[in-house]
């Protein structure tokens, strides 16, 4: 309602025309009296002439009024859809990383598509029905009271019956439509997974499993819909039957002696017409519940999402270009209280321009540690500072502007290579910078071989490129951003030895003059780091240069020997 009310001038026009529509409805019933009594009983020549014109005029007014009220209502409805989508999309862009971890993406997409439509439907369609049909009912009832109040009272006795039936069914609708919505989310979710993971599904012969899973959800969705349909279609005839009862009762009452005397043919026909005209708006009014309940259920989902917290950005400190001095001090972090801390007592300093490598088993917390820096998550204890200032005190935008990131899973957008490389960048000399970045990442050689060079579209998530090519594009993106801090999280994992040599050179280029946090499995790729931190179960257990760590004869030395020995025969360096 709040969203609709923003368009109150248009809404008022809509309401005004609704009043007109309702008035013409009553007008039509009223017209029946002179039509019957004047034209057919009294045979008044004047009436015989103007009644057909009156009918025409009535329906012209009605047609125009209906058009305007529908058009304006839909106009407001679409505006509401647009505004809600805008807000939701903004919210999605600003939701914390943790909220994404905990919500299936299909559900988020359903909020944006399906649920928004339902809310808009409730906000406008049901408003139309509530206003127009209520007015129509009031108009018709008023006319009926004027014609014969005794008969009208009889009609009104039926009304509570209708109300009871309606309220019975209402609760069921609400429950059902909420369940339908969540099952729509399931349908989208499974479909998304299959579409994204189609290669895995094929190679692991998961078709039968996915089909079965989908069939189950699909069937559940159908069943829920059928329950809703049953409730919906069952209660409509029920209401109609009650109205028919009323009709029978009225006809019986009207034909009783004293009343029959006082009723003209025209009055009776007009009364019955008004009563029959009541049917449709009353039925719509009892059905408006479904629409409203659906809308409310969808609204609860949408507004819960909109009310969920966005990333905290209370920092005031702005910074153009940081020096790149980073300090972790006794940092402790847990994703969820239940899971317990995955980082313990992390203390680590990175001097400006220094490269620190993180090594350790998978699951030891390397990625987690790196993701604290751009404030994807907030540590529960300890502090992280950039150039001596806690990172929470920076504006989020400014903080993230200091960091370039290349991860294991390169995300490419369905756009040209140039746009992918310059993603998020604006400003002059873009073309030149893209070119330079692509060259520095050793990506130009394969880009030049593509039909449209940098203007080649990469397809959804870069499906048209190889893993190594994608990683080089990701490196080019990092070059293009030219940030003082660089995070490389297993950025070379998708590469063969040949392309790794290129990437290695590209990374050396990239690391120059930047504070770099590099995470790598292959220890050969990090030997040149200034210092190496070895992580184990969320703690830094060893810290030093490559040589120092080897001399320490600890975990790093053991890991190194292990890799060195297995890799030695292949690279021909074995002793
Ligand atoms: N989004 C997440 N939510 C909850 N737990 C997570 C999440 N990401 C990682 N973890 C857990 O945190 C621990 C460290 O993971 P991670 O930092 O990815 O390790 P690494 O990068 O060293 O392989 C693991 O036990 C992992 O299960
Ligand atoms: Mg990792």
Structure confidence by residue, pLDDT tens digits, 146-161: 998 888 887 788 666 7
**What's the pLDDT at 573?**
38
Whether 342 lines ligand 1, by a CB cut-off of 6 Å, is: yes
CA–CA distances in Å: residue 494 to residues 417, 456, 498, 504: 19, 22, 12, 13
Nearest CA to ligand 1 atom 9: 368
| pLDDT one-digit tens code per residue, 28-74 | 999 999 888 888 888 888 888 888 899 999 999 999 999 999 999 99
Cα separation, 282 vs 271, in Å, equals 16
- CATH classification at residue 343: 3.40.50.300
pLDDT at 574: 34
Q: Is residue 490 classed as helix, strand or coil in its secondary structure? A: coil
Q: Quick check: is 425 in a domain?
A: no
Give a yes or no: residue 117 inside a domain: yes
Backbone angles phi, psi at 486, to 5 degrees: -130, 130
What is the chain's length?
A: 575
Using alpha carbons, list the distances in angstroms from residue 534 to 166, 173, 446, 464. Answer: 68, 58, 36, 36
Return the ligand number nearest the Cα of 533: 1
Residue bearing the CA closest to ligand 1, atom 20: 363
For ligand 1, whether the C-beta of 237 sits within 6 Å is no
Q: Check residue 163 and give its pLDDT.
A: 64
d(CA 401, CA 395): 10
Residue ranges making up the domain that contains 95: 2-307
pLDDT in tens, 275-320: 888 878 887 887 787 788 888 889 898 999 999 999 989 999 999 9
For residues 252-269, give the mean pLDDT.
82
Phi-psi region at 247: left, alpha or beta (left = phi > 0; alpha = psi -120 to 50): alpha
Q: What are the Cα distances from residue 171, in Å, to 120, 165, 220, 228, 495?
A: 21, 11, 20, 11, 58
Residues 295, 371, single domain; the answer is no
Are 134 and 155 members of one domain? yes
Structure tokens at 116: 């928004």
Q: For the chain, what is the domain count?
A: 2
**pLDDT-derived band at 258, boundaries 50, 70, 90:** confident
Across-strand partners of 406?
A: 488
DSSP sequence for 502-527 = HHHHHHHHHHTTSEEEEE-SSGGGTT
Q: Is residue 529 part of a domain?
A: yes
Provide the pLDDT for residue 524.
75
Asked whether the predicted pLDDT for residue 321 surpasses 70, the reply is yes
Could you tell me if 197 and 339 lie in one domain?
Answer: no
The answer on pLDDT for 449 being more than 90 is no
The overall average pLDDT reported for the chain is: 86
Q: Which ligand is nearest to the CA of 372?
A: 1
pLDDT digits (tens, 9 = 90+) for 511-548: 888 999 999 877 777 888 899 999 999 999 999 999 99
Residue with the bigger pLDDT between 141 and 259: it is 141
Residue 48 covered by a domain: yes
> Mapping DSSP to helix (H, G, I), strand (E, B) and coil, where does residue 48 land?
helix
Domain final residue, candidates 307, 340, 365: 307
Our answer on whether the CB atom of 101 is closer than 6 Å to any ligand 1 atom is yes
Residue 356 lies in a domain: yes
One domain, residues 281 and 330? no
pTM, full prediction: 0.77
Query: Of 497 and 248, which is predicted with more confidence?
Result: 248
pLDDT range class, residue 250, cuts 50, 70, 90: confident
Residue listed under structure tokens 């088993």 = 361
Residues 371, 294: one domain? no
Do 367 and 248 lie in one domain? The reply is no
Looking at the fold, whether 81 and 172 belong to one and the same domain comes out as yes
The reply to whether 503 falls in a domain is no
Report whether pLDDT(181) > 80: no
**419 token code pair:** 């746009």
Report, as an integer, the average pLDDT of 172-199. 82
pLDDT at 568: 44
Does ligand 1 lie within 6 Å of residue 367's CB atom? yes
Q: Do 334 and 288 sit in the same domain of this protein?
A: no
**Residue 133: inside a domain:** yes
- Asked if residue 267 and residue 200 are part of one domain, the reply reads yes
Whether residue 567 has pLDDT greater than 60: no
Q: Which of 252, 281, 307 is the last residue of a domain?
A: 307
pLDDT > 70: percent of the chain: 93
Ligand 1 mean position to 558 CA, how many Å?
24
At 570 the pLDDT is 42
pLDDT the model gives residue 575: 35
Same domain, 202 and 284: yes
pLDDT at res. 248? 82
Q: Is 384 among the domain residues? A: yes
Q: What confidence score (pLDDT) does residue 440 get?
A: 86
Same domain, 354 and 255: no
For residue 69, the domain's CATH number is 1.20.1560.10
Q: Could you tell me if 367 and 256 lie in one domain?
A: no
| Among 241, 273, 307, residue at a domain's last position | 307
């Amino acid at each position: 309602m709040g969203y609709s009310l923003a368009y109150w001038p248009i809404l008022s026009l809509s309401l005004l025309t609704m009043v007109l529509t309702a008035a013409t409805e009553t007008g039509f019933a009223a017209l029946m009296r002179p039509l019957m009594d004047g034209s057919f009983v009294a045979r008044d020549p004047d009436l015989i002439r103007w009644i057909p014109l009156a009918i025409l005029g009535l329906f012209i007014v009605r047609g125009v009024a209906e058009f305007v009220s529908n058009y304006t209502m839909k106009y407001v409805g679409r505006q509401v859809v647009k505004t809600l989508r805008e807000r939701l999309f903004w919210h999605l862009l600003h939701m914390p990383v943790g909220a994404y971890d905990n919500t299936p993406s299909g559900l988020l997409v359903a909020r944006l598509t399906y649920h928004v439509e339902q809310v808009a439907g409730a906000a406008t369609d049901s408003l139309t029905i509530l206003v127009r049909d209520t007015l129509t009912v009031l108009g018709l009832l008023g006319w009926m009271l004027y014609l014969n109040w005794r008969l009208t009272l009889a009609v009104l006795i039926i009304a509570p019956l209708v109300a009871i039936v309606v309220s019975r069914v209402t609760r069921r609708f609400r429950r059902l439509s909420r369940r339908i919505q969540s099952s729509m989310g399931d349908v989208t979710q499974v479909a998304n997974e299959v579409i994204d993971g189609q290669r895995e599904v094929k190679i692991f012969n998961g078709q039968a499993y996915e089909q079965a899973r989908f069939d189950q959800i699909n069937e559940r969705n159908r069943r829920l819909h059928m329950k809703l349909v049953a409730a919906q279609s069952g209660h409509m005839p029920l209401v109609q039957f009650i109205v028919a009862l009323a009709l029978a009762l009225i006809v019986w009452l009207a034909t009783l002696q004293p009343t029959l005397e006082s009723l003209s043919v025209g009055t009776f026909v007009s009364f019955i017409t008004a009563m029959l005209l009541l049917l449709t708006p009353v039925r719509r009014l009892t059905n408006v519940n479904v629409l409203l309940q659906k809308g409310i259920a969808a609204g609860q989902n949408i507004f819960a999402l909109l009310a969920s917290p966005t990333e905290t950005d209370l920092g005031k400190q702005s910074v153009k270009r940081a020096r790149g001095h980073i300090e972790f001090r006794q940092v402790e972090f847990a994703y969820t209280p239940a899971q317990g801390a995955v980082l313990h007592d992390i203390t680590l300093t990175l001097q400006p321009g220094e490269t620190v490598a993180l090594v350790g088993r998978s699951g030891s917390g390397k990625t987690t540690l790196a993701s604290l820096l751009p404030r994807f998550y907030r540590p529960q204890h300890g502090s992280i500072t950039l150039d001596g200032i806690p990172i929470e005190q920076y504006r989020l935008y400014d903080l993230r502007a200091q960091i370039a990131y290349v991860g294991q899973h390169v995300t490419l957008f369905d756009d040209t290579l140039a746009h992918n490389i310059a993603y998020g960048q604006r400003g002059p000399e873009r073309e030149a910078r893209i070119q330079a970045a692509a060259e520095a990442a050793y990506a130009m050689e394969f880009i030049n071989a593509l039909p449209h060079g940098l203007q080649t579209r990469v397809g959804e998530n870069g499906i048209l490129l190889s893993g190594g090519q994608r990683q080089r594009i990701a490196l080019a993106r990092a070059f293009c951003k030219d940030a003082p801090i660089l995070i490389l999280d297993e950025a070379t994992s998708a590469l063969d030895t040949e392309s790794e040599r290129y990437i290695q050179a590209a990374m050396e280029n990239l690391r120059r003059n930047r504070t770099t946090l590099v995470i790598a499995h292959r220890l050969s790729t990090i030997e040149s780091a200034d210092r190496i931190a070895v992580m184990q179960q969320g703690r830094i257990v060893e810290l030093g240069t490559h040589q120092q760590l080897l001399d320490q004869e600890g975990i790093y030395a053991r890991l190194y020997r292990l890799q060195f020995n297995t890799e030695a025969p292949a690279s021909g360096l074995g002793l």
